Amino acid sequence: MVPPDTPGDAAWLAQVTEEILEPDLPICDPHHHLWEHQNRYLLDELLADTGSGHRVVATVFVECMAFYRRDGPRELRFVGETEFVQGVAAMAASGRYGETRACAGIVANADLASGDAVRAVLEAHRAASPNRFRGIRHVTACDANLPASHTKPTPGLMADASFRAGFRHLGELGLSFDAWLYHPQLPELADLARAFPDTTIVLDHLGGPIGVPPYERSAVLPEWRKAIAAVAECPNVVVKLGGINMPLNGYGWQDRERPPTSEELAAATRDHYHHAIDVFGPNRCMFESNFPVDKVSCSYAVLWNAFKRLAAGFSEDEKRALFHDTAARVYRLGTAESAES
Per-residue burial over 108-117, b if 16 or more Cβ lie within 10 Å, else e, is bbbbbbbbee
pLDDT at 294: 97
Give residue-wise pLDDT tens across range 127-173: 999 999 999 999 999 999 998 888 889 999 999 999 999 999 999 99
Q: What is the mean pLDDT of residues 314-338?
A: 90
310 falls within a domain:
yes
CATH of the domain at 253: 3.20.20.140
20 falls within a domain:
yes
44 falls within a domain:
yes
Distance CA 259, CA 265 (A): 10
pLDDT at 16: 97
pLDDT(341) > 70: no
Q: What is the mean pLDDT of residues 260-282?
A: 98
Band (182; pLDDT cuts 50, 70, 90): very high
Give the single-character DSSP code of 291. Answer: B
Model pTM score: 0.95
Q: What is the mean pLDDT of residues 261-279?
A: 98
Question: Could you count the other beta carbons within 10 Å of the beta carbon of residue 328?
Answer: 27
108 sits in which H/E element: strand 101-108
Give residue-wise pLDDT tens across range 235-261: 999 999 999 999 999 999 999 999 999
∠ at Cα 242 (238, 243), nearest 5°?
115
Give the single-character DSSP code of 237. Answer: E
75 falls within a domain:
yes
- Which residues have a Cβ under 8 Å from the Cβ of 8 and sit 6 or more positions away? 254, 259, 295, 296, 297, 298, 299
139 falls within a domain:
yes
Q: What is the mean pLDDT of residues 302-330?
A: 98
Question: Percentage of residues in the chain with pLDDT exceeding 90?
Answer: 92
Band (37; pLDDT cuts 50, 70, 90): confident
The count of structural domains within the chain is 1
131 falls within a domain:
yes
Q: How far apart, in Å, are the Cα atoms of 149 and each of 8, 40, 64, 180?
A: 21, 20, 11, 10
Q: What is the mean pLDDT of residues 254-270?
A: 97
Range of the domain at 56: 10-340
Give residue-wise pLDDT tens across range 71-95: 999 999 999 999 999 999 999 999 9
5 falls within a domain:
no
1 falls within a domain:
no
Distance CA 235, CA 238 (A): 8
